[in-house]
Structure 1
């Protein structure tokens, strides 16, 4: 990656979709309109907005899961396409919203976590895939002896930890969290957010955190980009956005934030344990 370039950048990203209208007509609508974002090394950038604002579509373009209609995606100042996409995917991983939908229910945890390493043809670890998977499970707070279980045998919080372990298995530089805690109870959210913070401190991951929940943003973001109707309407650091928002839309979002402070490590340890599903 080059010099001082952002670790990940979207430049003038636009995404148009076609949909069927009345009388058999097809019409085009723009889900994301000329969006530019920069994510820097070791930071958490939150992209926030209401449902339908275009934030998840933006995230998927930045992850190169869908192709922009216009604009470019750069990793370390370089574009990746074709055969070089494997190198891009090694560096940019995604944690999805619903852990159970994103984990293959027919695969055991060892298969799920090791899949990116095998898919990207990474060298087999000295201790083999099993040892590496157990190491990753321990890092994210899961019992490594449960590596032969299926996703349905875990709670929602535990399943999301499996998704996080899968994402960091290939040692990426960027992790895109697409509503990664929105499906979890508040106490479990706090513990997963604390895990993400710890991993960032240890390995300097850069996070793009997609969410509609500004209470979560307050806990984890360094910078915030506010999105509405497919456009970025305001950006700033966390303090600026929360104390001196410039746009009425941002003020409206802030007015809806519940007055809840997420508990950090010590307090979160008092929360109900993430037991297996029944």
Structure 2
């Protein structure tokens, strides 16, 4: 890989427990991750493995106890406010629960254009026009820009979150369990949308997930986390087809599989005449 667009190096995040003098809980333990241009890095692991804590560090939503965050090779771990604002223009986040991440008191136009206001950007096109273009890009009806989050389905609300992330033309989008709260059919639609956006806009994704079926469909590379550490990292095919670590093999073994013989019979079965 050439210089990664976003990297976390030797990241550690500790949280105090049992009072000031109690032992610290290490949620992220010496984690190094890199994502290249137009690449999807998936970070997987069971609940409590540290993957979402790592995502918050990479997005600069939380401060590392130690380690560094680099953007285009530049250390931005201790960046001043002005540099951090530029960082947030480059790295955006799509959260797990679309409803809790969207302000229920704001209509869609105000939600989608919020990053522009935060960045102090005054685009040539008005906010309404930008909102409608972004809504159309993510598969929403632009005429619904005056509606509120509760008036949309879960999948539609997540598309609003994606449109908001795109408003400032980021290079990297961190998706923190962005499809896990959606029905399976809606998951597939949102994944297709993310792939189309990556193809059209050259986006890089850090994709946090526990659903390995989703990861296999979307990722270029995979990092497996357990106990706050990366225990295995490699290309998608390497991790899925020839995992080195026992923990990775256990994760893959837990993925539900359709019995091949049953699936063959289902495809070949023809309903009796007169039945659908």
Normalising by the residue count of structure 2, what TM-score does the alignment of the two structures yield? Answer: 0.90
- Per the alignment, residue 273 of structure 1 pairs with none
Please name the residue that 2:111 is paired with.
Answer: 112
Is the radius of gyration larger for structure 1 or structure 2?
2
Partner of 2:92: 93
Q: Matched residue of 2:192: which SS? A: helix
Between the aligned partners of 2:256 and 2:6, the Cα distance in structure 1 is: 31
Range with bigger deviation, 250-259 or 181-190: 250-259
Residue aligning to 2:64:
68
CA distance, structure 2, for counterparts of residue 48 and residue 141 of structure 1 = 28
Alignment of 1:92-241 (within 5 A): 92-126=91-125, 128-241=126-239
Deviation of 1:25 (Å): 6.5
Question: How big is the shift at 1:256?
Answer: 1.1
Q: Where in structure 1 are there 5+ consecutive unaligned residues?
A: 261-278
Contact 2:2-2:36 at 8 Å conserved across structures: no
The residue aligned with 1:271 is: none
Q: How far apart, CA to CA, are the structure 1 residues paired with 2:165 and 2:256? A: 30
* Distance in 2 (alpha carbons) for counterparts of 1:125 and 1:223: 38
**Contact conserved, 2:89 with 2:168, CA < 8 A, in 1?**
yes
Instruction: Give distance in 2, aligned partners of 1:249 and 1:235.
Output: 12
Pick from 62, 75, 78: which aligns with 1:79?
A: 75
Contact 1:125–1:132 (8 Å) recurs in 2: no
The CA RMSD over aligned residues, in Å, is: 1.4
Aligned to 1:270: none
Q: Which residue of 1 aligns with 2:265?
A: none
Q: Find out whether 1:47 has 2:43 as its counterpart.
A: yes
* Match of residue 265 from structure 1: none
**Counterparts of 1:62 and 1:220, CA distance in 2:** 20
Q: In 2, are the aligned partners of 1:31 and 1:54 still within 8 Å (CA)?
A: yes
SS at match of 1:190: helix
- CA deviation vs aligned residue, 1:104-137 (integer Å, no higher than 9, x gap): 00000000000001110122233x0000000000
Query: Moved runs in structure 1, 4+ residues, more than 4 A?
Result: none
- Equivalent pairs counted in the alignment come to 255
Structure 2 Cα separation of the partners of residues 65 and 170 of structure 1: 18
Kept after mapping to 2: 8 A contact 1:48/1:225: yes
TM-score normalised by length of structure 1: 0.89
